[in-house]
A and B are shown apart, each in its own frame.
Chain A
Amino acid sequence: MRISCPHCGERDHGEFAYYGDATKRRPDGASDVETFFEYVYPRDNPAGSHRELWYHVGGCRAWIVVNRDTRTHEIFSVEVARKRGEPSQGAGAGAP
């Protein structure tokens, strides 16, 4: 599988680290437990199109959103996460 990074072009997926479901949005810190539970644990886990976060750790270090078919590994689109208004996932190295 090769992923086309918007900055670096087509690269082996071994250069990227996977973070998972990109439809999840970190709730406001004051949210209740149920809201945080929903954010952290349940997943749609679709067989088919899946929007997911990858980190180009072996390249430009951008976070990207990849839309990929989980049945065939075919990639439909790749975008820079920030452009899509992806929310911050928290602080610290390795977090988007």
Chain B
Amino acid sequence: MRYSVFSVLSQALKGNTGWKPVWREPEPKAEYDVVIVGGGGHGLSTAYYLAKNHGITNVAVVERGYIGSGNIGRNTTIIRSNYGEHGNIPFYEWSLKLWEGLEQDINYNAMVSQRGVLNLYHSDAQRDAAARRGNTMRMHGVDAELLDVAGVRKLVPNLNFDNARFPVYGGLFQPRGGTVRHDAVAWGYARAADSRGVDILQHCEVTGIRVENGHALGVETAKGFIKAKKIGLACAGRSSQVAAMAGLRLPIESHVLQAFVSEGVKPLIDTVITFGAGHFYISQSDKGGLVFGGNIDGYNSYAQRGNLPVIEEVMEEAVAMFPSIGRLRVLRHWGGLMDMSMDGSPIIDKTPIDNLYLNCGWCIGGFKATPASGWCFAHLIAQDAPHEVASAMRLDRFATGRLINESGTGAQPNLH
């Protein structure tokens, strides 16, 4: 069913009794042209663009849980393209462009909201770094505005500007950044892929990858062996485990990242703000809850739940920035598994095994990449060659020294 004003109105008249499930629940076929392992945002968008851009529709997305159970349903929904490295900028800008047309393309309301992303700076040195980043972005055709204190005051009047330790000096603002309803992205891509013939196989864990003479032949799953001409891995925090099924070792550590939502309040913050003197960011959802988070916990974890030191740090940063929210209650908090790469940047590449392709290393920032990651991974799988905006995201860059080290912290995943 195509969604439109008319479908909504006619359903309203029928008491909303006529809505159908938005994707099928098929049994696995014996063989597919492409099997994507991992039904998160990246796996689903890859399947959609394989069908839409390359006409490859005999595709399955194989997911161990349910659609939306991974990071695609756990992130804090921020999108932006304020990067500073050659290998990253064109890619993330392409992703932002795809977000801008996504809802029309997939006929699904993902609540794309370009409310802007503001990175605060608190010293002269940070202002210089912000100016440099902003200039780099503008040279690549990305929007960026350097705001002074007055500019920030206009945008976010209730910040603690005169914090004794970290006074606000200004901010780098990307007006086209913002937030997107994360669950709707998963559901929208799933529906759009399904309607082009892609099979979405939920509760179907991949337990093995069959490899013979250097060729990948298919995947062992909870529902039996599925033959595949090509296999794409998009397993986020479990990438190391799944790649190990084909004998690969990745430059990845799995870490836990937590996020928090407060009780709902009236409109308070209408943009996305990051603290420059720590690791903290905050926005407000359309329901009124403040959505915020900070650093990863900082040690290897597959637990999908974090510990108290990070929670304490995040709360301290929150009230340092916004003393007025000190009395708010936190309603919920949770964690997700991050595939932290050794240089903080992702990998979209072939593997040393024929017909086996890899998409991982998204660290704490892969939600914003969902459209471009799927676009480029589909291109790689269909054409057997990297898409130009993802051509630096190679697996062998760690051996050749062509790192994309955005934060400049070296091979220390808990510092990215």
Chain B residues with a Cβ under 8 A of chain A: 238, 240-241, 249-254, 298-303, 307-309, 312, 342, 398-399, 411-414
> B249 near A43 (CB under 8 angstroms)?
yes
C-alpha gap A50/B303 in the complex (Å): 13
> A41 near B307 (CB under 8 angstroms)?
no
> A31 an interface residue at 8 Å Cβ cutoff?
no
Contact with B along A15-49 (1 / 0, CB 8 A): 00010110000000000011001001111110100
C-alpha gap A66/B275 in the complex (Å): 33
> A71 near B414 (CB under 8 angstroms)?
no
Number of interface residues of A (CB under 8 A): 25
Nearest to A73 among chain B residues (CB) is B303
Chain A residues with a Cβ under 8 A of chain B: 1, 12-14, 18, 20-21, 33-34, 37, 40-45, 47, 50, 52, 54, 68, 70-73
Which residue, of A1, A34, A43, A44, has the highest number of chain B Cβ atoms within 10 A?
A43
> A1 near B398 (CB under 8 angstroms)?
no
Q: What are 21 A-to-B residue pairs whose CB atoms are below 8 Å?
A: A13-B299, A18-B298, A20-B412, A33-B399, A34-B399, A37-B398, A40-B342, A40-B398, A41-B251, A41-B342, A41-B399, A41-B411, A43-B240, A43-B250, A44-B240, A44-B249, A45-B241, A47-B238, A54-B299, A70-B300, A73-B307
C-alpha gap A73/B308 in the complex (Å): 13
Interface of B is mostly: mixed
Nearest to B305 among chain A residues (CB) is A73
> B299 near A52 (CB under 8 angstroms)?
yes
> B398 near A47 (CB under 8 angstroms)?
no
Min CB–CB distance A15 → chain B (angstroms): 9
Nearest to A12 among chain B residues (CB) is B309
Nearest to A18 among chain B residues (CB) is B299
> B303 near A45 (CB under 8 angstroms)?
no
Interface of A is mostly: mixed
Q: For residue A54, which residues in chain B have a CB less than 8 angstroms away from its CB?
A: 299
C-alpha gap A48/B237 in the complex (Å): 14
Nearest to A48 among chain B residues (CB) is B302
Nearest to B307 among chain A residues (CB) is A1
> B253 near A43 (CB under 8 angstroms)?
yes
What are the 3 closest A-B residue pairs judged by CB atoms, nearest first?
A14-B309, A45-B240, A41-B251
Beyond A43-B249, A43-B251, list 4 extra A-B contacts (CB 8 Å).
Answer: A13-B309, A14-B312, A21-B253, A44-B249
Min CB–CB distance B207 → chain A (angstroms): 14
C-alpha gap A50/B241 in the complex (Å): 14
Q: For residue B298, which residues in chain A have a CB less than 8 angstroms away from its CB?
A: 18
Query: Per a CB cutoff under 8 Å, which of A14, A21, A42, A72 touches B303?
Result: A72
> A71 near B300 (CB under 8 angstroms)?
no
Q: For residue A71, which residues in chain B have a CB less than 8 angstroms away from its CB?
A: 302-303
Query: Per a CB cutoff under 8 Å, which of B249, B308, B414 touches A20?
Result: B414
> B398 near A41 (CB under 8 angstroms)?
yes
Q: For residue B251, which residues in chain A have a CB less than 8 angstroms away from its CB?
A: 41-43
Which residue, of B238, B253, B299, B303, has the highest number of chain A Cβ atoms within 10 A?
B299
Min CB–CB distance B246 → chain A (angstroms): 14
